[in-house]
Amino acid sequence: MNIVVQKFGGTSVRNLECQRQVLQKVLRPYREGNKVIVVLSAMTGETNRLLDLANEWTDNPDPAEVDSILSTGEQVSCALFALLLKQQGISARSVLGFQVPIRTDSTFGKARIIDIDVDNNKLTKMLKEHDILVVAGFQGCDENQRVTTLGRGGSDTSAVALAAAVKADICEIYTDVPGVFTTDPNMCTEARKIDRIAYDEMLEMASMGAKVLQIRSVEFAKKYNVTVHVRSTFSNEPGTIVMQEDETMEAVLVSGIAYDKDQARITLEHVTDTPGVSAQIFTPLADKMILVDMIVQNPSKDGKTDMTFTVPRSDVQQTIKVLEKLQYEIGFEKLSSNLNVSKISIIGVGMRNHSGVAARAFQALADENVNILMISTSEIKVTCLIDDKYTELAVRTLHKAFHLDEGEPLEKL
């Protein structure tokens, strides 16, 4: 039994006209003789509307009830779409998370999928009885039979997890953009659609804010080796294939440029440089769930050092509050913060085997007089912290420096 999984986002299911276009996409694999699992999001804006309702009723709504409310958005779009399929004479039905069942932990609002129970034969049985199953994205159920949701954008993860569970040939994620781009097209008109991208590159792009796929769905795809095709509902063009890395991908030095403006820099001056001081600084921040990213410690002088790091801009006030309380304990003289910074990254698996990529990026920024405030690197990423007023210039400069605007990314320095 060949199974194709197709997921459609909120803009694709937002009204009857759009759902008719979705129908055309679903009919293609169906007519080719495949069984199809269609995973749908709620109609655009619906999850926000439901969330607002819950917050209007009480200040601090119970998370389990919130999930029960939010999950209705997907329930509606799935049942409506099932109506369209049945009208075509197709054997189809809508399926909710608990009916699959998609089992999750009990972290309401951000639940993690534990497993999709294929062995109990429920899903297999439904697939035998029907040609198309319309499964509600974003939802699951916990061990106490309570409805859970998987976090914003979670329908992507539902789709990839289902594709892994039924060993589907492909997982197509349909959205309102043509695919994954070399950088944000709103920032750089030269941005191009990427044909193929490795899981690790996609993870880096997604964590830097490229919102086409929920990060967890990419983690899932990587873990279970699910090939994901991100493409547009509103055209027939092929989109971007997210897949296991291969040699042709490694030949390309840089695949994409990402940026994150939601950053702030914190410096602790004249920290007493003794063993354990970093733990003293960062443990209380971790306890408050503050995500610290780039960290630089200067060489110490007379037993004192400076410690600089970045946090999301929305966490600055809390970071300052936590650290100022501990000033005496940690032993620093002064805390300063800068909210006008942004992070720019060049991303590419090709960096693993090529040297000089970072140097080229630094030179390109230098030629435009963009000052680099901090640098961090990983195997497949170089990140620079810069003054945020230069974000657009830096993105365009780096995009050009690695020939991403020409559609033939640089393969050699």
Binds 47: which of Mg ion, ligand ASP, none (CB < 5-8 Å by kind): ligand ASP
Instruction: Tell which positions 121-140 bind ligand ASP, by CB under 6 A.
Output: 137-138
Say if CB 148 and CB 104 are below 8 A apart: yes
Beta-carbon count within 10 A of 372 CB: 15
In contact, 318 and 368? CB cutoff 8 Å: no
DSSP 8-state assignment for residue 68: H
Instruction: Name the one residue in this structure whose structure tokens are 């679903």.
Output: 26
x/- letters, 143..182, toward Mg ion (CB under 5 A): ----------x-----------------------------
Q: Which is nearer to Mg ion, 153 or 350 (CB)?
A: 153
Residue showing the smallest CB distance to Mg ion in the complex: 153
What is d(CA 319, CA 138) in angstroms, rounded to the nearest whole number? Answer: 32
Q: Which stretch binds Mg ion (CB under 5 A): 9-17, 164-172, 254-262, 274-282?
A: 9-17
Q: Does 175 participate in binding ligand ASP (rule CB under 6 A)?
A: no
User: Which amino acid belongs to residue 166?
Assistant: V
- Reported in sequence order, the residue ranges of 245-380 that DSSP labels E, i.e. its strands, are 256-272, 295-297, 304-312, 334-347, 372-378
What mask of x and - would describe binding to ligand ASP in positions 8 to 47, judged by CB under 6 A?
A: -xx------------------------------xx----x
Looking at the Cβ atoms of 66 and 277, the one nearer to ligand ASP is: 66
SS3 content of the chain, % helix, strand, coil (to 5): 40, 25, 35
Question: Which whole-number Å values give the CA distances from 319 to 171, 268, 273, 327, in the listed order?
Answer: 41, 12, 20, 12
Nearer to ligand ASP, 137 or 350 (CB): 137
Residues 326-355 contacting Mg ion, CB under 5 A:
none
**Secondary structure of residue 166 in the 3-state scheme:** coil
CA 187 to centroid of chain Cα atoms: 19
Stretch that binds ligand ASP, among 146-154, 245-253, 255-263, 270-278 (CB under 6 A): 146-154
Of Mg ion, ligand ASP, none, which one sits near residue 152, judging by CB under 5 to 8 A according to partner kind? ligand ASP
Torsion angles phi and psi, residue 21, rounded to 5: -70, -40
Question: Per-residue string for binding with ligand ASP, 70-109, x by CB under 6 A?
Answer: ---x------------------------------------
Hey, what are 282's tokens? 């960062």
SS3 of residue 258 by DSSP = strand
Closest distance of CB 226 from Mg ion, Å: 17
Q: What is the rounded CA–CA span in Å between residue 225 and residue 5?
A: 14
Look at residue 29 and give the partner it binds from ligand ASP, Mg ion, none, a contact being a CB closer than 5 to 8 Å depending on partner kind.
none
Judged by beta carbon, residue 9 or residue 348, the one nearer Mg ion is: 9
Footprint of ligand ASP (CB under 6 A): 9-10, 41-42, 47, 73, 137-138, 152-155
Footprint of Mg ion (CB under 5 A): 9, 153
